Structure formats: structure tokens, C-alpha cells
Chain A
Amino acid sequence: MTDGLTREQVAWRIAQDMVDGSFVNLGIGQPELVANFLPEDREIIFHSENGILGMGPEPAPGEEDEELINAGKKPITLLPGGAIFHHADSFAMIRGGHIDACVLGAFQVAENGDLANWSTGGSGMVPAVGGAMDLAVGAKRVLVMTDHCTKTGEPKLVEKCSYPLTGTGVVNTVYTDLAVIDVTREGFLVRERVDSLSFEELQNRTGARLTLANDWRPLTAF
């Protein structure tokens, strides 16, 4: 599918919605890209589950420290003002509602805000969850970064998740390569969509009913 944004462009789009002064957790993988595109006028404090606030960018080659890593186990740096704490405090920040926003990947998001992102339920897989369920219920805003459809063209936005759930009714906004969609009481509300697709074409690539916001805008990126 070449109709939509690249992953970097989706990350850029999410970064534009980061609120100055907020505490943000970026999920492992694609969501980590968001940190690369923060507007210069925002001071954001990044949280990492293993016990870090004030996570900075990757260290220069040769400057890595095995004991300074993020939740994805990759070397990081600390910004001036950064803090280290133990795991129960780190998850109290998440579960206690102190983290303003998290960005997570998804296998599926349902129109009621259910999120499935930890297991495809296959019997051959080792069940591994990490902090996904804690972030899903604990962060004040749960933002999802995902392709609109799977590689084989199956919609990832659905009426009801078929994969095992991570959390129920937790997702606030979904950012895909094709659209920015809020989860509302009435279901999926399209706030922005790419120009290259009609609303009907977007609906055809979605597994649940979409509503187009009255004030919808074209989805564009850098």
C-alpha cells in the first residue's frame, strides 16, 4: 500500500500532539520513533518502564553503558534532571495515573477502545506481556501507532478484537498510515485522513463503521 504515510511520518504526526511539559512513555518498537520528531517548543519527559525519567537519545558509538538502558534493553542517555528509581515506583507512575500519555503498537483496536497488542493467541507462541497491560489501563491517554491494515490487507481497526485483549476500552486515539481516528462513545471518529483515499475507500479498509468528523482535515506530514 503506497497510499499513506511512512512510519516516520506517522511518528512525526503523533509527535505534533505531544503536550508541552508532559510525561510520556513510548512503547518498544515503532513508537520509539516519535522521540525523533518532537517540535522544538515542547519539553517532554520520557519515562521508561525499567525505572527512568528523563530518557535522552541514543548514546554516540562507544559511549554505551550496559547499566543505562531502556525498556527495550537498548543503550540510552539520561538528560540533565533525569532520575532513576526501582520497578515498583516505575509502575506506580504508570498504574497510578501519573503518565500523561503512552504510545503503543497494536494488532487490533476495537471501536469500543479495546486493545489487542500482546499476543496473537497462537499455541506455538510463548506468552509474553511485559508492561503493555499496565500502560493500557494506567496512562491518562493511550495513543496507538499502527498500520491501518496488516501486511495481508486485513483491517486492524475492527468491531471486536479477535486476538487476546491487552485492555478493555482503553484506547483514545489511533494514528495510522491513512488516518487519525478518535475512539468515542459512538465508535471510530475520523479526525484526519489522507487525501489520496476517499472516505469510502478508507471505510473499505476498516473493519468497523467510521464516522467522519465535521471538522475533519487532510492528514499530512513533514
Chain B
Amino acid sequence: MIDKTVVTLTEAVAHIKDGDTVFIAGFGDAGNPTELVHALIDQGAKDLTLVNNNSGNGFVGLAALLNTGRVRKMICSYPRSSHSVVFEELYHAGKIELETIPQGTLAERIRAAGAGIAGFYTPTSAGTPLAEGKEIRHFDGRDHVLERPLAADVALIKAETADRWGNLTYRLAARNFGPIMCMAAKCTIVQTRKLVPLGDIPPEQVVTPSIFVDRVVEVPHPMSERNAILNGEHYP
């Protein structure tokens, strides 16, 4: 029998190793796997490379993980926001590496990794500082930049519903990076608000098919990062 569910968050993140590259899904307040990130903080893996669109807010979730000093490098498109204090301090102190990638290139590099594509050419960033050092080719009257896939050892994902095979749905804009990150990680770990019996998710409504998922843990009442930030909460 296939059963990807695990009972505890501790179990879900137990195998994450020092030096791993970790995808963290989520955009703004939508789709953050905050409980999984907190479990990773408790687990203690270090020398991590994190991938997210942004760089965390306040002192919870991704920002709290950065605040442990266990992250070597951040890969993102927009590492600046009204509450990104932790990242900015680390960056200005020279304590973290940063790779800034155009948002669409970030998404497409992740998708390419999941789809077995070794590289692609895009006009995005041609002629800009973000193309420096990259191969440029001229197609159809326009310069294109060679971009390579971006894979990870682990993906941390927040879903709305999941079954024991690992089929997933997402709620509203919480989908964001979830489906492509699931495809491009060696081990995809999902926290889901509802764990449902096989067959409960209508097949045509499955957004991430089970083949891309490795572990599922139920978190029925995920925290609101927004409220935690507004309340000045810190994790741990």
C-alpha cells in the first residue's frame, strides 16, 4: 500500500541534511508552509540554500530560519519588502549570499528542472546586469540569455487538500510556486490543511498529481504569518 502520510512535522523533515537546497513555496501571505519551516528550524540542518520568491518577513517562517544563521545562500527574485529585516541585516553584514533572478526566469528554471530540460533561452534580462556572465544567443532578431534549471533536494509545500498518494489541491493564490516546486525537488514534503481519503479529490481537480509528492503531514490550523508579523511574534 502506498501511504505517504506521516503523523508529525518532526518526522516529515527528519531527513533534511546540512548543505541541502530547499524550495520554500509561498508568495506574500499565501501558501507559506510555515509549520514545516519551523520544524526545519527545530531539526537543525545548516549550511542551507533556500529558494523562495522573497526573503521572509518579520521573525517567523522563512525569516526565522534565516535568523538561525543556518542559511548560506538565498535565491529569489525580490529580497526586499516592508518587513524583510532579517534578510537585509544578514545581507549587509555579509553573512548570506544572494542570487537575484527575474521572477519569470526563477519560475521557468524550476519548471525546467522538473521537466528534464537542461537549459532554455529567454529574452528576459538580456542587456541587463542580471545577464552578466551568461551565454547570449540571437534568435528571431532578439538577444536571448541561456538559463539553466534550478532543482532542489527538498521542497516544503502548503496544500489545501491531500490524499495518502500525495495528490494535492491548493486554495486560491496559495498555489503560486507549489506545483512547480513539487516537480523539481528530490523530496517534496507537503503540509495540508485537510487529509482526505483517496478518491475524494475529483481527478480533474487534482492540481499536483501524486507522482511529484513524497511526504504529507496534516496541519489543520496553519498559522497566519501576517498576524504573527503584526503581533511581533518570534520563532522559536
Contact = CB atoms under 8 A, between A and B. Distances in A.
Interface of A: 49-52, 65-69, 73, 78, 84-88, 90-92, 94-95, 114, 119, 124, 126-134, 137-138, 164-168
Interface residues of B, number: 49
Contacts of A168: 126-128, 143
Interface string B74-107: 0001111100000110011000001011111101
Interface string B163-182: 00000000111111111100
Contacts of A133: 102, 104-105, 124-125, 128, 130
Given A67-B172, A85-B175, A128-B79, A91 B98 contact: no
B27 interface: yes
A65 B178 CA distance: 19
Given A134-B124, A166-B128, A167-B127, A86 B104 contact: no
B124 A95 contact: yes
B209 interface: no
B122 A95 contact: yes
Given A50-B176, A88-B111, A134-B105, A129 B127 contact: no
A129 B172 contact: no
Interface of B: 27-31, 53, 77-81, 87-88, 91-92, 98, 100-105, 107-108, 110-111, 122-130, 143, 171-180, 207, 224, 226
Given A84-B175, A91-B108, A128 B80 contact: yes
Contacts of B224: 66
Given A69-B29, A87-B107, A137 B123 contact: yes
B173 A69 contact: yes
16 contacts: A67-B29, A78-B172, A84-B172, A84-B175, A86-B175, A86-B179, A126-B98, A129-B78, A131-B77, A133-B124, A134-B105, A137-B124, A137-B126, A165-B128, A165-B129, A167-B127
Given A126-B91, A133-B124, A168-B126, A88 B173 contact: no
A87 B30 contact: no
Contacts of B53: 87
B177 A87 contact: yes
A87 B180 contact: yes
Contacts of A68: 30, 172-173
B173 A134 contact: no
Question: Top 10 closest A-B pairs, CB basis?
Answer: A91-B104, A73-B28, A134-B104, A168-B127, A88-B111, A131-B103, A66-B29, A87-B107, A133-B102, A128-B80
Secondary structure dominating the interface of A:
loop
A127 B107 contact: no
B213 to A, nearest CB: 15
Nearest to B225: A66
A61 to B, nearest CB: 15
A28 to B, nearest CB: 10
Contact of B78 (A52, A128, A165): A128
Given A126-B88, A167-B127, A49 B103 contact: yes
Contacts of B126: 137, 167-168
Nearest to B122: A95
Contacts of A87: 27, 53, 103, 107, 176-177, 180
B159 to A, nearest CB: 12
A20 B91 CA distance: 45
A91 B103 contact: yes
A86 B53 CA distance: 13
Contact of A91 (B30, B107, B178): B107
B77 A128 contact: yes
B107 to A, nearest CB: 4
Contacts of A129: 77-78, 100-103, 130
Contacts of A164: 128-129
A138 B104 contact: yes
